[in-house]
Every structure is written in structure tokens, then in C-alpha cells.
Amino acid sequence: MDFTKIENKFFHLLFLIIAIAFIIVSPYFFDDYGERILSNIAIFIILAISYNLINGVTGQFSLEPNGFVAIGAYVTALLLLNSESKIDQFSLEDPSTFILAFHSPNFILALLAAGFFSCLLSFILSFAVFRVRGDYLAIVTLGFGIIIKLLAINFPSITNGSLGLTLSSSDLPKSSDLIYWAGGIAIISVILILNITYSKYGRAMKAIRDDEDAASAMGIHTFWIKTLAFGTSAFLEGVGGGLLAYFLASVSPEQFDFLLTFQLLIIIVLGGLGSTTGAIIGAVLVIGGSEWLRFLDESMNIFGYQTEARPGLRMVVFSLALILVMLFARKGLMGDKELLDFLKFKKNPKNGRKQ
């Protein structure tokens, strides 16, 4: 009997139960502001672990997340808005006939469509993107993200141009359900990514990361494995973009510039490239930390002395904390390991028994 697999399943089930329980009880312990922070963290967990799959696990230095997130957000918004709302909002140019007919009030269908279109585009792009490696790959994917933003601005009959789209409460599920949607999809995404990482496809992705030429010589079809990682990452980024549109209740090109990719890059590097657990921890620290440190921007009473409000101080402190972490943890908080790797018992090298 393979006790290692049983042990893995036990810990995964335990984490799943804890995560579901936390999401269920969170509305009873957090106010609306706290719930929105948790929802934002859950959305960025989806984006971070999906980005980590292509960048950390597969080792492809891609700078494309903002493009796929933008596609997911726009597809979700355009599906949820009815034709009357589109006619009212499109002021730069009348919406095209296809955009008027592009409608579905079902939020699950809208999220799946967001993931599908992002995944489809990633498959088309993969034939050009994976002809290059390393820094050249980063430049190509960076250009893709810029192109998506420019297309959103310059095709007002599809996206309403620079004015963007606004979603009303009637277009979205109840705001109180956001934590359940974001948290539930985050759990599903983590399970999916972990299953891929521990599968033969995940091992092939890691082989490509370590040495692509050697992986190819061993019979691994590197193009299709990279395309699988790219497509899976794009699908989840599209779904995350749809949830981001739900969270913000608006979509505009400015929301999806390179700063979004840079933020995700900070998260996965801080947590540890190649570690799904690290990406989760990084999302909690970066997204949650930037909110929890807001008191530093305000006036404070320190031992009877009233300080002045200093907007931006929290980001200075947060940046210094990131620098210190990276100085003492060069490979990130988790390195390339998962939390499960630290919880397993070590085996005695002499007799193979667990200590």
C-alpha cells in the first residue's frame, strides 16, 4: 500500500475542509470591508497560482497576465450587460450588432466564457510565443498585454473605448455572495493546479523548467506541455478577470496595464517560484498587507504625540518589508516546495521507515 499517496490525500482533504469552513464562517466574523479584502485576496490567489504555473512551475518567463485578465473581465461584463445597458453606456460609438446580441445573465456561464476566450487566444498565441525563450519570450508576451490594452481603447464599438463599462447591481449576483464566488473558485483553482503539478504533466513542466533541451531529448513534447501550462494559466486568469469585474463593478483599460502583471510577479517571487503554497501566501501578504497597513497613512497618537497624516507611508514600509524578506529568503518564503513537503515525516535513509 502506498502510504505516501494516502498521506497526500489526507492533508489535501484537511486543507480543503479548513478552507471551505473559513469561507462559510467569514461573513459572521468580518464586516463588509473585511469581506471585500478577503474577496480581493481570493481573486489574486486565483491569478497568482495560475501565473505561477507558467512562470514558476514551467519556467517560462511570461509577462502576459494583464492581457488575459483584461479579456476575461471584458467578456464577463459584455455578457452580463443587456442590450439596453450597452446602448446607454456606449457613447463614443454605437455597439456592434454582435456585441448587442452577446448576452447571458448566467454568471457561471459568463465566467466559463471568459476562461474559454482567454484559453483560446493563448492557444493561438502559443505558436508564435514559444518559438522564443527567456528574455525574448518576456518581451513577446509583454507586447501582447500592451496590444490588448490598446485594442480595448481603440475599438469603442466593442469595449466602449477608454470610458469602459459599468456593471450595476442588477447585472451582478448579490454583493454579499462575492466572498463565496471568489473563495469557492479559488479553492477549485488550487485543487486543479496542485493536481496538475503532482501529475506526469507537472513533472514534465518542471523538467522543461530545469533543462528544456534535456527534457526534449528524454521524449517530452516541450511545445505541447508549455501550451498546456499556458492554456491552463490563461483560462484561470480569464476567470479571475471575470471575478475582478464583479469585484470592481466596472471595467476599463487602465485597470489592466503592466502594473497588474508586475504585482502578480511580486507575489509569486515573494512566495517562491514554483510553489503553489508560496503563491497563496504571497497573495495574502501583498494584497492583505497593503490594506492592513493603511493606518500608517493616517494621523496617529504615539505616546501622547499626534503625528501628521502621511499618505503613502504604508507603501514605503511595505516595500522595505519586501526588501528584507528577499534579502533573507532569496528563493522566496517557500522556495519551490509546498506546505505538504514540510508536513511530511522524514524517512530514515537506512531502513526507509518514517521517523
Give the pLDDT confidence score for residue 92 in this predicted structure.
84
Average pLDDT (213-232) is 93
φ/ψ of residue 301, rounded to 5:
-100, 105
Give the pLDDT confidence score for residue 7 in this predicted structure.
62
**Could you tell me the sign of the dihedral formed by the alpha carbons of 226, 232, 234, 240, in that order?**
negative
Whole-prediction pTM: 0.89
What confidence tens digit (pLDDT) does each residue in 141-166 have?
A: 999 889 999 999 999 999 999 899 99
Highest mean pLDDT among 113-122, 160-169, 303-312: 113-122
What confidence tens digit (pLDDT) does each residue in 129-139 have?
A: 898 888 889 89
Taking the C-alpha atoms of residue 121 and residue 185, their distance in angstroms, rounded to an integer, is 22
Taking the C-alpha atoms of residue 316 and residue 309, their distance in angstroms, rounded to an integer, is 14
Q: Where are the beta strands (DSSP E) in the chain?
A: 165-166, 250-251, 301-302, 305-306
Q: At what angle do helices 200-210 and 222-248 cross, to 10 degrees?
A: 100
Taking the C-alpha atoms of residue 68 and residue 256, their distance in angstroms, rounded to an integer, is 9
Is the CB of residue 110 less than 8 Å from the CB of residue 167?
no
pLDDT over 50 at 347, yes or no: no
Give the pLDDT confidence score for residue 346 in this predicted structure.
47
Nearest to 122 by CA among 241, 206, 22: 241
Give the pLDDT confidence score for residue 351 in this predicted structure.
47
Interstrand relation of 165-166 and 250-251 (parallel, antiparallel or unpaired): antiparallel
Question: CA 169 → CA 105, 248, 250, 273, distances in Å?
Answer: 12, 11, 11, 38
Mean pLDDT taken over the chain: 86
